[in-house]
Structure 1
Amino acid sequence: MTLAADRVTASDRAYADLLDGIQSGALPAGFVLGEVEQAARLGISRTPMREALRRLAADGLVVQQSPRVTVVADLDAGDIRALFEIRRALEETSARLAATRGDAGLFAELAEEFAHVDLSAAAGRDAYYALIARFDAALDAAVDNDYIASALRTVRTHLVRVRRMARDKPARLAASAAEHRTIAQALAARDGDLAAHATHVHLHNALTGILETLNEGQK
């Protein structure tokens, strides 16, 4: 029993370490993840490392090119568009459900917080991203659907990479905060149609901004 628990713990640690490396960009697209080398780096055996790589492959974050070669998956404009297609479906549905199932008072409080974010300094931007995470958690709790929550967790895992690729633009961040406030206000008013529409507008603008940033980086 102890050995099994140790193996799971080692696998979880390897997964978390590699996930952080991929999301932060320390392990870029195309980086070869050698099973032996990575296991040695973390001081674990190859079995838990193999399990961690399988989990990352299931998440779509790495690609098994051969039985012995695993590389970090690419993430191009086409992938981002596809990611936003499923994101729209999930988040617009979640907004409609949360409008009828959620705590109106909580969403009113979140709307007020979005109205007073300070995006002028790095600390304020970090606090803004933390506020978005709290908003997402409140939305998930209101929807109370494990299948939707599981699908959104996978999408958000990839979104961390997408956000890193897109530079923080003051105008876009300010617009995003206003868009989040509108969504939260609609949820507080229990207006599902408005919440879904505001979510659609926010995601459209977010995707447009990300793709523009990628195009600028390629020039």
Structure 2
Amino acid sequence: MRASDRAYLTLLDEIQSGRLAPGAVIGEVEQASRLGVSRTPLREALGRLAADGLVVQQSPRVTVVSDVDAGDIRGLFELRRALEETAARLAAERGDAADFALLAREFAAASLDGAAATDDYYALIARFDEALDAAVANDYLTSALRTVRTHLVRVRRLARDNPGRLTASVAEHRLIASAIAARDADLAAHATHVHLHNALASILGSLDASTGSTTGNHHQGAA
């Protein structure tokens, strides 16, 4: 693996996990030393992160982790809704019904008892996303979805502390997978719409609670 790729993946994981919080300064000298790379591959990694929208270069020598506010989250979900509803509809028309029936059974059996089980649930969602991408078979659509998911990892952290929302999310994913397996494109798209509506409401509610601000939506609702 190239040094720039290694630096990019390490910083990406740290930003998505919250170890590098919004507003954190990423100094070239310090980070290059910490990651064991020279400054040239580090700059390449930072350039990729900037293209992803995860860091902002405030000056030639100062790069900071970008913030995530209610407006950013709403904008992300506007794009996510357009992409994922379309993907669900296409998957119902093109996908392997047996694959999605199996995923529906796995969602039905999913446990959220403890942090490890919650991690397993998010891994199941990742496998569902992979199956969705394969079924859609549209490189333009799946590329756009990958960009959205890069940001979604950060946003999803806000939903992990809401057990009720996670439980509802399991049922919503099961319905989406079942609709795709049944080749019911309208239901798959509608179920995706409902899931994303609830997920956005939950995340904005969690953001309100953590900042004490008002985003205009106080519903409880996992991404």
In the alignment, structure 1 residue 152 sits paired with structure 2 residue 141: no
Paired residue type of 1:69: V
Paired residue type of 1:204: H
Match of 1:61 in 2: 54
Q: How does 1:138-149 map to 2 (within 5 A)?
A: 138-149=131-142
In the alignment, structure 1 residue 27 sits paired with structure 2 residue 20: yes
In the alignment, structure 1 residue 77 sits paired with structure 2 residue 70: yes
- How far apart are residue 127 of structure 1 and its match? 1.5
Aligned mate of 1:40, from 33, 40, 53: 33
Separation in structure 1 between the aligned mates of residue 59 and residue 73 of structure 2, nearest angstrom: 25
With 188-197 and 34-43 compared, the bigger mean Cα shift is at 34-43
Q: Which digits, 9 at most, give the CA deviation of each residue in 1:32-83, with x for residues without a partner? A: 1111221111121111011000000000000011111111001011100100
Asked if the contact 1:98–1:143 (Cα under 8 Å) also holds between the matched residues in 2, the reply is yes
- How far apart are residue 149 of structure 1 and its match? 1.1
Identical residues among aligned pairs (%): 75
Match of 1:207 in 2: 200
Aligned mate of 1:17, from 10, 20, 32: 10
Paired residue type of 1:100: E
Aligned length: 212
Separation in structure 1 between the aligned mates of residue 53 and residue 156 of structure 2, nearest angstrom: 17
SS in 1 for 2:113: coil
Q: How does 1:111-130 map to 2 (within 5 A)?
A: 111-130=104-123
Gaps (5+ residues) in structure 1?
Answer: 1-7
Identify, as 1 or 2, the structure richer in helix.
1
Alignment TM-score, normalising by the size of structure 2 = 0.92
- Runs of at least 4 residues off by over 6 Å: none
- How far apart are residue 216 of structure 1 and its match? 1.3
Separation in structure 2 between the aligned mates of residue 121 and residue 29 of structure 1, nearest angstrom: 27
Gaps (5+ residues) in structure 2?
Answer: 213-223
Paired residue type of 1:19: L
Separation in structure 1 between the aligned mates of residue 126 and residue 12 of structure 2, nearest angstrom: 18
- How far apart are residue 86 of structure 1 and its match? 0.4
Asked if the contact 2:160–2:166 (Cα under 8 Å) also holds between the matched residues in 1, the reply is no
In the alignment, structure 1 residue 137 sits paired with structure 2 residue 127: no
Paired residue type of 1:70: T
CA RMSD after TM alignment: 1.1
Q: Which digits, 9 at most, give the CA deviation of each residue in 1:70-121, with x for residues without a partner? A: 1100101110010000000100010111001100011111111111111122
Paired residue type of 1:31: A
Separation in structure 1 between the aligned mates of residue 159 and residue 106 of structure 2, nearest angstrom: 24
Paired residue type of 1:57: A
